[in-house]
Structures are given as structure tokens and as C-alpha cells.
Homo-oligomer: A and B are copies of this chain.
Amino acid sequence: MPLWTVHHTPGIFTDEEKRQLASRIADHYEQVGLPRFYVVTLFHETRPEDFHVGGEPTSAGVRIAIDHIARSNPDRESRRRTATWIKGMLRPFLERHAGLHWEFHVDETSEDLWMINGIAPPPAGSDAERLWAASNATSPY
């Protein structure tokens, strides 16, 4: 958690820009207390012939599917704040492209059905989670 899957048409990101975006995303989750290594960002370049918006192939599209596992939002206001927070990570990278369709959505799934390196991660806000964050690695707890 979180898992970001970034589908994009060719020419939107250089490898260096991918690295910058992935790092910025990790920064944001780290700032709210998550171990940095929880954040996995996958980029998936997709040909215009395989990327259709409104039934037409598109030459400039970014569609991001995000899975949130370690934290979930209790109510609508909280969910909307989360969406705005995510928008803030993306705008510097995407608003520079005129005519781009960019879209994201988040799914929230159960922390009980999740393991890293074969270990169920510690509860949110626990001492063990703080240790994982400080060491940026899994450890028995």
C-alpha cells in the first residue's frame, strides 16, 4: 500500500520524470507517517491504439489506478480531501501537457489481506510501524 499503476501514452514522461514523480508520491505518503517502501509506483506505457478515451484512440492520455490498503477514509469529506491531496502530487507533472486527458481513481481494500516480504504489516500508527518507517525496511515485530 499504496499501489499506483500509471497507464500512459508514449512521450508523456521521460525515465527521469518517472523517477521524480514516483519520488514525490513517496514523499507525500512518508509525510503522513507511512514507511516509504510501502509506496509502489508502476508505469505502463500504452500505445494510442490500445488507449481509448470515449471510444477513440488517444495520443495523450494518463489513467492512474490507485489501491489504498494501509489506511482508509471514514467518510465522504475525508475521501474528498484524499482526492485533492493526490491531485496536488500530479498537477506539476501533468498540467504542462496541453490537451492531455488525465484521470485517477482510488480503491480502498482490506489491510488484513496484505503482506510485504511474507509479513503482515504492523497496525497503522503502532510503534512497529514507526520502526518500519524509520528503518525503511520490514522486520519481525
Contact = CB atoms under 8 A, between A and B. Distances in A.
Interface size class of A (residues with CB under 8 A): 35 or more
B18 A52 contact: yes
Contacts of A37: 53-54, 101
How many monomers of this protein are in the complex?
3
User: Which of A7, A45, A54, A95 has the most B CB atoms < 10 Å from its CB?
Assistant: A54
Given A36-B55, A63-B40, A112-B76, A107 B104 contact: no
A120 interface: yes
B42 A63 contact: yes
Interface of A: 1, 3, 7, 15, 18-19, 22-27, 35-46, 49-57, 61, 63, 65-67, 69, 73, 76, 79-80, 82-83, 86-87, 90-91, 94-95, 100-110, 112-118, 120, 136
- Top 10 nearest A-B pairs (CB, nearest first) are A26-B55, A22-B52, A79-B112, A23-B55, A106-B113, A36-B54, A43-B50, A37-B54, A105-B114, A41-B52
